[in-house]
């Protein structure tokens, strides 16, 4: 009906408008399009209101309703089951499983982040506690160390206070040294009292050079390359008469020692003469440190260490060396005196037996032997007891088989004599 009215109006305008028929036609067309559009909307509204389902309008209505239903369902599911569905950033829905996985991942990530923060907080707290504990421990250790150092310092001061000092004693120095003699075997010390360390000893009748006297009554003497001190009770201006030892009495009478004593703790140190003595005397309890052809170098480098390894309280060390190298007399003196002081300090007794007689041989003369013996006897300290076996053999007789070594009977007599001297 409306279309017919519009067409009639357009025709009437063409008749009346003349030259404006183009514009009028355009206006009429636009008016018609507007009318048609309005009419279609009214029809759609009417059909929707009447539940119509026809043609193109039906498809549009169905699509709109379906979209609306999908969106509504999606919203309800998202609200009710947020952990079962997800939505992409572009607004499109994703499968429930995928959404659940992503949601779970997000939840786990958040929980992990919170756990991480908790762990970090705990770690920070632990670090703080550890730092505090470490500081306390360090402070405790520092305090303990300081206490220990303080105690050590006090001990050191106490030891230092107990150590005797020469500066604490007044010394009268002689203008000229005086010759004096030991009245009996006596110790030699580093200072003028028994509080000072022992450095050696003097034998009865040994001559010394006295350079002064301390306010304690002790004498200062020349000892070795320096000064040492001896109690004033054991030095005198006149040389005492030496008391003959039992073995010297036997030698003077020209009688060999027949009884062989069994002496415990004896250490025999020597050269080939001791090697052959051991082979000819039979069973014995001695410790033998002896090798063929040896002298000072072997004694210094080997024998001394072996003696050190077995010496102790009650040991009796008998040394008989020098026939192979009498020119080392001063070396023997220095080493024997030094080691004898150590061995005596361990409770041992030290003896040095003279080099015994020789006849013609390619190595040593009797003159060298006698000179060696005289120097050794005069130079040995009070820690070493001299055994004059050379004189003993000359008094009882002996037999040499090659100018240097003895027969079995002589070795047996000599061994019995040594044991009687110990």
CA 364 – CA 387 distance, rounded (Å): 21
Q: Is 89 exposed, middle or buried (0-12, 13-18, 19+ CB in 10 A)?
A: exposed
166-236 is classed in which CATH architecture?
Roll (2.30)
Sequence ranges of the chain with CATH classification 3.40.50.1110: 246-421
Torsion of CA 128, 130, 135, 141, to 10 degrees: 170
| pLDDT score for 291 | 97
Q: In this predicted structure, what is the pLDDT of residue 67?
A: 61
Q: Tell me the CATH number for domain 246-421.
A: 3.40.50.1110
Residues of the chain with pLDDT under 70: 1-161, 242-255, 258
The CATH 2.30.30.40 portion of the chain extends over: 166-236
**pLDDT tens-digit profile of 226-236?**
999 999 989 99
316 - beta bridge partners? 266, 349
For position 258, what pLDDT does the model report?
Answer: 66
Q: What pLDDT is attached to residue 51?
A: 47
pLDDT value for 161: 58
Q: Report the pLDDT value the prediction gives residue 197, as an integer from 0 to 100.
A: 87
Q: What is the pLDDT of residue 149?
A: 63
Instruction: Give 221-277 pLDDT, tens digit per residue.
Output: 999 889 999 999 899 999 887 655 555 544 544 567 767 778 899 999 999 999 999
* Predicted pLDDT at 244: 54
């Amino acid at each position: 009906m409306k279309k017919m009215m519009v067409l009639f109006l357009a025709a009437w305008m063409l008749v009346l408008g003349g030259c404006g028929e183009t514009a009028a036609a355009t206006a009429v067309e636009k008016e018609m399009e507007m009318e048609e559009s309005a009419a279609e909307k009214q029809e759609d509204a009417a059909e929707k209101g009447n539940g119509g389902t026809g043609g193109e309008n039906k498809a549009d209505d169905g699509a709109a309703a379906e979209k609306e239903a999908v969106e509504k369902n999606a919203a309800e599911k998202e609200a009710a089951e947020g952990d079962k569905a997800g939505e992409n950033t572009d607004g499109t829905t994703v499968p429930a499983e995928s959404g659940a996985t992503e949601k779970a991942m997000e939840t786990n990530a958040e929980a992990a982040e919170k756990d991480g923060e908790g762990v970090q907080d705990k770690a920070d707290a632990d670090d703080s506690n550890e730092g505090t504990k470490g500081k306390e421990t360090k402070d405790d250790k520092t305090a303990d160390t300081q206490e220990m150092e303080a105690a050590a310092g006090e001990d050191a001061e106490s030891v230092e206070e107990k150590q005797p000092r020469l500066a604490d004693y007044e010394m009268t120095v002689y203008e000229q040294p005086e010759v004096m003699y030991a009245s009996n075997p006596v110790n030699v010390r580093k200072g003028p009292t028994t509080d000072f360390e022992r450095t050696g000893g003097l034998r009865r009748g040994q001559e010394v050079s006295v350079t002064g006297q301390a306010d304690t009554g002790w004498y200062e003497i020349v000892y070795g390359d320096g000064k040492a001190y001896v109690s004033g009770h054991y030095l005198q201006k006149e040389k005492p008469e030496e008391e003959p030892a039992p073995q010297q009495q036997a030698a003077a009478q020209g009688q060999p020692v027949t009884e062989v004593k069994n002496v415990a703790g004896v250490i025999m140190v020597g050269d080939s003469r001791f090697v052959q003595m051991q082979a000819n005397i039979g069973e014995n309890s001695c410790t033998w440190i002896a090798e063929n052809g040896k002298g000072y170098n072997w004694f210094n480098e080997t024998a001394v260490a072996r003696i050190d390894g077995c010496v102790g309280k009650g040991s009796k060390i008998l040394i008989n060396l020098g026939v192979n190298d009498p020119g080392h007399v001063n070396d023997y003196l220095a080493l024997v005196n030094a080691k004898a002081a150590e061995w005596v300090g361990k409770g041992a007794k030290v003896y040095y037996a003279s080099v015994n007689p020789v006849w013609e041989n390619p190595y040593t003369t009797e003159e060298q032997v006698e000179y060696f013996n005289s120097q050794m006897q005069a130079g040995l300290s009070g820690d070493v007891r001299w055994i004059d076996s050379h004189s003993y053999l000359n008094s009882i007789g002996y037999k040499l088989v090659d100018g240097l070594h003895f027969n079995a009977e002589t070795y047996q007599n000599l061994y019995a004599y040594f044991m009687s001297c110990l």
